Amino acid sequence: MAQKILVVDDEESLAQFVCRALRQQGYKTVCAYDGDNALSLVYEEMPDLVILDLMLPLMDGWEICRRVKSDEETRHIPILMLTARSSAEDVVQGLDLGADDYMRKPFPLDELLARVRVLLRRSQGPADTKKVIEDRDFKLDTVEKEVWLRGSIIDLSPTEYSILEVLARRMGHTVSRDELLRKIWGLGSCDTRTVDVHMSRLRRKLDDGKKPTLSAQTLRGRGYRLTWEEGE
């Protein structure tokens, strides 16, 4: 069955252009041109992915993202923000609300399609055959997509979970930036701020104030590593 994508943009010509390109790739598409209709269509259609503009009439994209990601019924749906807004604050706000990826207008169509494929592939589950990853008091279930630390479940966004799974499979070893970008976004390049925001949020969520600390480290010029820090 073809996967369904909801495209939300108040520029009807742009929304229809994106929908046509997606249909040519074999996806089903639904278009919305304002926030109220978009939110209604999320629940009516239950799409596999939402491509969401920020500046919308009636309800902006941030509010739509917040509502979708705060509802257990819909929080699993990946959201790709596609917008002309490009400040660091906009990126941070969108990702803080649970958006899974962020692209700026104007955008290369090939890159948009690549990111769509990656987000849909990630939402279908991991290709690796190892179902549970455990190390000391850390446990990651790749089937349920749940993470526990010292017996407590950690609430992660889909992208945070995907980053953590990549790092956890190489516990204690460095994952290069290029490898992380390729596995999470399917690209050799990505907005640095997007990666930094996700890593910062992941570090905060893993820090429960106890020792040893499970740390998602950024190694400048080398990549990223998940490791235990013993402390004092």
pLDDT at 72 > cutoff 60: yes
pLDDT at 90 > cutoff 80: no
Residue-level pLDDT at 97: 81
Instruction: Average the pLDDT over 119-133 and give the result.
Output: 70
Specify the residue for token string 């969520």.
Answer: 205
Whether residue 140 sits in one domain with residue 109: no
Question: Which residue intervals of 8-81 are DSSP H helices?
Answer: 12-24, 35-45, 61-70
Whether residue 110 sits in one domain with residue 144: no
Specify the residue for token string 């992915």.
Answer: 49
Q: Which domain holds residue 143?
A: 132-229
Instruction: Average the pLDDT over 161-179 and give the result.
Output: 88
Please identify, among 90, 123, 156, the residue that sits at the C-terminal boundary of a domain: 123
Taking CA atoms, 19 is separated from 22, 25, 68, in Å, by 5, 10, 21
> To 5 degrees, how large is the angle CA 115–CA 41–CA 184?
20
Instruction: Catalogue the long-range contacts made by 139-142 (C-beta closer than 8 Å, 24 or more residues apart).
Output: 140/164, 140/165, 140/168
Whether residue 140 sits in one domain with residue 119: no
Give residue-wise pLDDT tens across range 132-148: 899 999 999 988 889 99
Give residue-wise pLDDT tens across range 171-202: 988 888 878 887 787 665 555 677 888 888 89
